[in-house]
Amino acid sequence: MCAAETPTGAAQPDRHDAQPPIVRGEPVQVSDAVYVIPDDRVPIVPNVGIVVGDTAALVIDTGIGPRNGARVLDQARRLAGDRPLYLTTTHFHPEHGFGAQAFKGAATIVYNRGQRDELHRKGGAFLDMFSGMGPHIAAELEGAELVDPDVTYEGQAEIDLGGHVATLRAVGPAHTASDQVVLIDDRVLFGGDLFETRMFPIAPYFPPHDTDVDIARWITVLDELAALNAEVVVPGHGEITGDSATSPIREVRDYFGYLRDEATRLRAGGASADEAAAVIETAARARWSTWDNGDWIGSAVRACYDACGG
């Protein structure tokens, strides 16, 4: 796939021929009180969560841009009726949080403090970067505004929805500096882009501009998430799965473990970063042959390569 140059100087996949990144589906119930609008494997569309308690409802992620945010808000209102709404996002990236302006004044917006700060540092550059990835994406970002939360927290927070509890937990740095997971009633886990189903995970490693991705910490986080033994696992993108033991959590953890070990070995043997990336990408594409997003293998390898050099 061709690459588009970004304002940060980093190469991103060129999505000019991709489907429009629109949240289209109907909510699907995946557990008691928990619904997901599935991404249907459309690039730049996340799995969106809606949790409806007796007294309030929570939306998890918004889709990219104000029109998608408005679509998600409409679905949330349809399910929740006149219950008060909360909104949270798994991380600051545009397809997960840049529809938040549709919720301003309609919901209480909750981010972890690090996520808010990362949005301030990087939001404008990512808005420009994603707008340059294709006209369909730029169209959805037209008029997009960066939205501050109404409430921030440190570490962990709980939202009582009435009969159901959402636990918000800051776990970064990993995919970003400030990733968040959301656990509903200790049964349903929303992981954002910490794991995806049948997709090579995105490691946004763009030195010297953005080097917050931390593969070693990411592996630790995935081990911790697998240990939760959630009954339902909702990835940032891709199909929803059952318990953690058979979920993409473990698959992505094994992939990163492989990259880390191979990058360390090849660097110790004198290979350059480019040489290591080429060798590992070929092997990874063969080993995980059913996975999409192979364009992101190289940046993950370089993150591992640079980290193992101290």
Predicted pLDDT at 309: 79
CA-CA distance, 275 to 209, in Å (whole number)?
22
Which residues are 85's β-sheet partners?
57
Predicted pLDDT at 4: 36
Predicted pLDDT at 19: 86
Burial of 55: CB neighbours in 10 Å, binned 0-12, 13-18, 19+: exposed
Q: How many helices (H) and strands (E) does the chain have?
A: 8, 14
CA-CA distance, 183 to 167, in Å (whole number)?
5
Is residue 188 pLDDT above 90, yes or no? yes
Predicted pLDDT at 246: 61
Predicted pLDDT at 245: 55
Q: Where are the domains of the chain?
A: 9-308
Beta strands 108-112 and 151-153: pairing type? Answer: parallel
CATH code, residues 9-308:
3.60.15.10
pLDDT confidence of 18, banded at 50, 70, 90? low
| CB contact set of 192 (below 8 Å; sequence gap of 6+) | 46, 61, 89, 90, 91, 96, 175, 179, 180, 181, 236
CA-CA distance, 300 to 310, in Å (whole number)?
16
pTM of the model as a whole = 0.93
- Beta carbons within 10 angstroms of residue 139's beta carbon: 14
SS3 107: strand
Mean pLDDT for 93-121 is 98
Report the Cα 81 to chain-centroid distance in Å.
28
Token readout for 269 is: 């043997």
Q: Supply φ then ψ for residue 237, to 5 degrees.
A: -145, 145
What are the angstrom distances between the C-alpha of 157 and each of 84, 182, 232?
Answer: 18, 10, 21
Is residue 144 pLDDT above 70, yes or no? yes
pLDDT confidence of 243, banded at 50, 70, 90? low
pLDDT confidence of 195, banded at 50, 70, 90? very high
Percent of the chain that is helix, strand, coil (3-state, to 5): 40, 20, 40
